[in-house]
Structures are given as structure tokens and as C-alpha cells.
Amino acid sequence: MPPSPNHGERRGTQRPDLIVLHYTGMADGASARARLCDPSSEVSAHWLILEDGTAEALVAEDRRAWHAGAGSWRGREDVNSHSIGIEIANPGDRPFAAAQMTVLEDLLRGVMARWGIGPAGVIAHSDMAPGRKIDPGPRFDWRRLGFAGLALWADRISPGDNDLPLAASLDLIGYPPVDPETRLSAFRLRFRPGASGPESDHDRAVAAAVARLSVGESVDRTT
């Protein structure tokens, strides 16, 4: 039986179509587990990946865990009802262990297969809550997940991509309508970690490439 009591019925939908990745932001996995299973904390996640790569189920996947909080993605306001939450034990100041990334890949393949979720549905907590959350942070290896087909990653940029307005591309990808600087920071955290300064041609080109992948997946999944 999943050990966290912090969950409820999904609202308005019975099928998750997103997976939200987090870091725990705590000293160790044991502390994170204790908090995620504490009724008074009112937080939880479906899965917790410990430092050694052990994956623990805390909430049944058909239930609404309390991991995402305020924010939105592709117009969905209640992200908890639409998502599976995966917490990875990491304080946020160090790379993720190789064992954790290997287990995460296996876990993602299973969750995506069970619920029919494509790579565009695997997002960061920072994606859906720009300015409020930064996890799983700049040290998380999104490129690895992208090349494994488990998340979106733009490795091919087409001529003219940098001519497309950044705001339009971020709308297509799914970012919520917050102020432009906050959206740019959230986008860079995910797809261009370490980038800074004003919006650039490269930001626009990468965003356009990601938007093209996201829209292409949506079309494929409805035909």
C-alpha cells in the first residue's frame, strides 16, 4: 500500500497526461520521505527516487497527489489532477546521481506506457510554475532524457527558426502567461541552462524547435 496519506480524487479527469519532475530540496531522501508522508505537511508525490536509485511508490498513480501546487501548463490550471509527480532526492546544489537517472529513465518508460503520455508531457516543476519554482534545476540532465525519447529536447534547429517570436513559441510549448522575463528564465532553466542576458536569436531558435516538436507530437497523438 502506498505510504503517503496525502492524496485525493482527480478532479474532472481520471487519466493523467503530464509527468512533473521535481528535486526534493532537502538534506536527504529519508527527510524527504518523512515530509511527503506526513499528513500535516499536505504535500506528496506518486514516486520518490532515493540517492541510491531506489524508486518508492508513495501514492497510487490513479490518485491525485499534492506535488505541483499553483501554476499551469497548456492552460491546465489544476496540474495535480492532470499529472504524475516524481520527486528525486537532491538538495538542489549538486548533480543527480547516475543511479537516479538510470532508474528515472526506467520509471518514465513505465509511467508513459501505462498512461499514454508522450515526451511533450514530461515537464519540470519550474516549467509550470515560472518564478515560483526552479526544480529540478540547472543540474538536471534534460538532454539525456531527450535523447532517450523521454522528454523534449531541441538538438536540430532549422534555418529561420530565430525569426519566430519567442512568446508565440513558448505559448505553443505550454508555458503559462506570466511576464516575459520570468518565462524566458523558466525556458532557459529547462532548455538553455546557464544562459543569461536579454532574449537572443538562439533563445528564439531553440524555442521554435521545441515548439515544432511539441506541436508535431500533439498532431501525431490525435491522428
pLDDT, residue 219, reads 45
Instruction: Find how far residue 32's CA is from the centre of its chain.
Output: 18
Band the pLDDT of 2: cuts 50, 70, 90: low
Give the three-class secondary structure for 132. coil
Confidence of residue 160 (pLDDT cuts 50, 70, 90): confident
With a CB cutoff of 8 Å and minimum separation 6, the contacts of 214 are: 120, 152, 172, 173, 174
Cα–Cα distance, 41 to 164 (Å, whole number): 44
Alpha-carbon 41 to chain mean position: 22
pLDDT score of 119: 98
Take residue 104 and report the three cell numbers written for it.
Answer: 528515472
What letter does residue 120 receive in the DSSP assignment? G
CA-wise closest residue to 188 among 200, 171, 179, 178: 200
- C-alpha–C-alpha distance, residues 6 and 53, integer Å: 23
Residue carrying C-alpha cell 526534493: 24
Supply 22's cell numbers.
Answer: 521535481
Confidence category of residue 174, pLDDT binned at 50, 70, 90: very high
Please work out, in degrees rounded to the nearest 5, the angle formed at the alpha carbon of residue 135 by the alpha carbons of 72 and 66: 55
**pLDDT higher than threshold 50 for residue 223:** no
Closest CA to 18 of 68, 87, 70: 68
pLDDT at site 14:
77
The per-residue pLDDT for 215 is 86
Confidence of residue 144 (pLDDT cuts 50, 70, 90): very high
Look-up: residue for cell 485525493? 8
Query: E strands, the chain, where?
Result: 7-8, 18-23, 47-49, 55-57, 64-65, 83-88, 122-124
- Would you say residue 58 has pLDDT above 90? yes
Taking alpha carbons only, the member of 98, 84, 114 closest to residue 22 is: 84
The whole-number average pLDDT for the span 117-142 is 98
pLDDT of residue 195: 96
The DSSP secondary structure of 67-104, one letter per residue, reads: -S-S--BTTBS-HHHHEEEEEE---SSSPPPHHHHHHH
Please give the single-letter amino acid code of residue 171.
Answer: D
pLDDT of 218 reads 55
**What average pLDDT does this structure show over 109-132?**
98
Which pLDDT score is estimated for 217? Answer: 65
